[in-house]
Structure 1
Amino acid sequence: YTRVKVNKFGQVEEGSNPTTLSGNGIQDAYTKAEADLRDLQRPLRDSITYVGLANNKPDAPYMRRESDGALVPLQPSLGFTPVQQGGGTGQLNNLVKIGWSNNGLKAMVDATDLGNLWYANNFNPANKADWGTTLAAYRIADAYTKAEVYAKSEVDTRIADRALADSISFVGLGSGDLTQPYMRRAADSIICWLQTKLGYTPVQQGTGVGQNSGAAVKIGWSSSGLKATVDVTDMGNLWYANNFDPGSKANWGSTLAAYGITNAYTKAESDARDSQQPNADSITILGFAGNDVSLPYMRRASDGQVYYLQPRLGYTPVEQGGGPNMSANKVRLGYNGAGSLRLQVDSSDFGDLTNDQNLPAKLAGLGLSAIGSYAFARVITSQGQVNQGGLIAGSNLLYSSTNSGDGTGNNSGLISVGTWRAHGAFSGGERTLFQRVS
């Protein structure tokens, strides 16, 4: 049994084989189902020791690498749609940098300065004239029209040298600024600003698979590295070759071997090792007290109490009790140093046990009238016919012999003690052999 009830004499009275925590009365442990549920609510740890927020800052999530304790910062949730650097059709992986300067918002690709970006705070289209098709449209009075200057054939020649206008009235540079090319729509004279030649492959904002196109993506350099902002949300640092080396990271795997881990047991190895160990039933420690092999013990989990165990005897022991008419008293046997085994039951001393070695001496040492001793005797007061096995009180017996005169004139004396059993039939005052039985 894995669970037994032991009485005060160290005897097992009953046993059972509970298979659950509750069956063993264990309340400070989770069942397998409870532990599995708790495990399912938590992610597995893969080559890390900690994951959390540095200094409890919500914008500083991190993991700590198990191999060397290195802190690996994580990217917080951006909260906006970032600009993807390259990766589109025909795009290169040049480093795109957009950031604020003393002159306004500037852009750079690799080491090429692209200059200022134009936006509402540094350019007002209302300060520019709407596109028109005549000098009058611009209220210009100090110039001639083409009709006033050129002949028809010359005008046709000049027009032939120019591109046709498709739904636009003007194309040019705002205020002669090379950074402000534009076209004016013919239908409503709305200005459409054009992108100057970048000199590099730009990052396309949105329109990729799963990407939104409405958010403003901002990427720029900071004192802590390349950072990104979407609308007004700071996405934190971007990872690139100078601050992240994927070669230093392990590929995802599902085994220890996939990560080259050799100082840990696999689940199968752990299960095999566990299967070779006994289960602990309400104990915390099993071992030798003071490293003494003669003192094996177990420590009970509930109160820390030490319970010593019986070392291997090396022989087949005598079973204490359990037979017909036997009680559960404590029986002790021990050598008395004088050639005999001595018996004690509980606190009662039963003296020496008789064996082949001490039997002759014990018999010789019985003495006259001792229990077990023999005597030739006759009755004092006749009890009529008595067969062998009959019991006579010692107070009615005289020591005698086969001589009819002995015990009368030659009186050997009264036996006077105990009860004696006749070993021969007699009647009247005949002599026979008696043995004291009590």
Structure 2
Amino acid sequence: MGARITLAGESLIAQKLGSQQRLEVARFIFANVPGLDPNAPVDRAAVKPPAAQIVHSYTIPKQNSGFVNPNQVVYSAMLGSDIGDFDWNWIGLETAENVLFAVAYVPLQQKRKNIPPMQLGNNVTRNILVVFDGAQALTGITIDASTWQHDFTIRLKGIDERERLSNRDVFGRACFFGPALQVEKVASGYQLKPGLAYVEGIRVELNSAFPITLPRLPTPVWLHVSLRRELNDVVAGWKVGFDANPVDYIDTAGTRHYCVPLAELTSSTITDARAGEPIDGPLIQHLAARAGDYPQLRARATTKEDVELGNLPNAISDDDTTNSSFILATTKAVNAVRKVLQQAIDKLVSGDTPAGKAKRLETARTLAISGAGVGSTTFDGGSDADIFLTLADSGVRNGVYTKVAVTSKGIVIDGGTLAAQDIPGLDWTKIVSGKPTTLDGYGITNAIPTGATDKRPVLYSAEPGQNYWHGALEIREAKLAGPSQKTFAYAPRMVFHWKETVAGELAMNANGALCWNAQALWHDGNFNPATKADKATTLEGYGITDAIKKGDYGLGSNVAPASPIDNRGLPGGFHYFGEGTTTFAQAVGLINVPYGNSSYSGQLGFQQGGADVRILVRSVTNAGQWTKTRELWHTGNFNPDTKANVSNSLEGYGIVNAIPTGLTNKRPELYAPEAGSAYWHGAMSIREAEAVGNTRQAPEYGPRISFHWKDVVAGGLSMNAAGELLWNGNPLWHGANAPKNTANLAATGRWRCGTTGFMVQWGSVAAKPAVAHSVPFDVAFNGVCFGVITSVNNERTTPDADSGYQVVSKTVTGFTAYRQDFNLTNIGSDSGYTWFAVGI
């Protein structure tokens, strides 16, 4: 939110700085200000809203105040679900002195209290970040903001650090793109060239040349780079240093600074110390190979010597009969040799060419097999030979066996049937096919299958308890959605289904209420039947004895009871009186209206039997007697056209020659009835308020004429008890009382214009150390101090000052200044300063 420090808060900062006191922000104020525009700038001069608009006050715990950096502190309000209900659009910080310190405007916000089960409350956290020089020191806050409110600072810091290290892996300790941040001399000064660089992975960009002021020559020039916190972000920060060989360091705010050299300067030379690279565009384009000539690539080799094969001969020949150590055979020569060799190999394979003694056998030989099987054939080498093998009888009868006995030679010598001990404990995953998919398929009878079944489980809990895991049966939400889905469609439910007739469901909603067909079920936790009655059609049926039945006193009936209507204790309701003695009237039906006690009542009656309606009324006096019976007027016994309407205005009576009170454009012309200068001789006489005479002489009782420009300005012309004419309480000047200019021409003095109130004040202050100090004015300005300027007191005969004084804040009673030193190594004479202030 965009909070701003108020003018009162700014003044308090100056006062606390001047008195070296701690600034304590004590509380948040939440208010609902009608018509407040959340997009409008904060009115820094405004005061705290009236009490009727303040909806909540939150005292700030010590742990809810933290610092972001030395010039930024943050305050947090955490409103739990036990607070509410209220809305707000204005939020402010108030100090221990009840000074409105900072204000923010926001769109209308809601805070609701948790009221189970009807209302779900909310938790609200609001932070206000306050920024001013020395904020942490002045407030005395020592807690880092990240320790008192959970946020993603640590994770974000980790992300920043990983990005820095990734850049560091690419660019190394330091990498300056081309001439980026190179020190150069321009005329008599020095500056850094614009450009881009990476220092320890931190990206530093200078968009334009940056002038630097050297403290001396010769001097080294170093760049100090850091990632520093700024508001809610982390940005690259850098500065130029001139110390020799600085090392990386961590400042008091916990920020690490990396130091790399830029240059070594003398009065005549600039030695560039940057780690520069000739990069003038995107890095990938700089590194990527392009079509062209690359001197450092081995692809430039074009001769045998380039690839270290200079000893190879250069002569070649197609002649396969050549026998020389200095001629290389071509592929044509090699192919001719291959054909000759291939033809010879083909003849060996076909048998056309004998391979030594490997010819067809002159005498055929017999090849035979014996042992587990017998067989034989003849072979002379002319063609392939097949041996028909006959196995020997192993003694096993012909048949199908589920298990067999096999010799080491692979011969089956026995067979039998599998027994239970023959089946090993196999890993279930080893069976890849033929697995059953039902309980019956495995022969399992003590489990409940899915789908329709008449199997009935008897469940019990593994341990006692009332938590959800202690139930004998646990029903979960649909799709195990967890807290991501809280709609009733995902509720844990049991469905009751009378096939094709009716279905019902028992489910629990996200609030823990048990429901039947989405309707909450009653139990002794939310319904007490002892407080209910059986339905009936009569009052007696409900046992009600303090109610009026239909027909009593004519209620809900077409006949009223005959009653003694002169009885002042008559029950309220409808009654009638026929003939007899009464102070009201004969033959009337009436309504008796009781009062707060039985001694009083009122009656409204309608007389029956006449040619026209008569409406009669009466009530009871404080003496306990009936008033006279009065008849109400109506169009039959009263003609309003013959009467003037009662009015409270001239216009209501049609009077046009008089001036009404209130807003009017009628203009009188007044004149005095007689000449004279006494108060009774005026054409108009304005008296004191309430005509109090001389018993009240306070200014608010003075005779007054008000001037009012609606919604713009209002003023008043009045006379005080001394006979002075005033405008808005200020005496009007005339020849006898016109103001005169005043002055105090002392060393600390002033001059004030008697007509306008414009005032100039001055004074002199002795030399001060480089800390903030407060200076009071000779007198306070009545309205506002426009500004304060300072001037050093050094004379022409003294050395030039290397210090100046800057005004950091001002009020109508004084100002706060701070000494600034321009040359830290050789501070000259400081004779203090003279100040001048103007205002009204």
TM-score when normalising by structure 2: 0.13
Highest RCO, 1 vs 2 (Cα 8 Å, sep ≥ 6): 1
TM-score when normalising by structure 1: 0.21
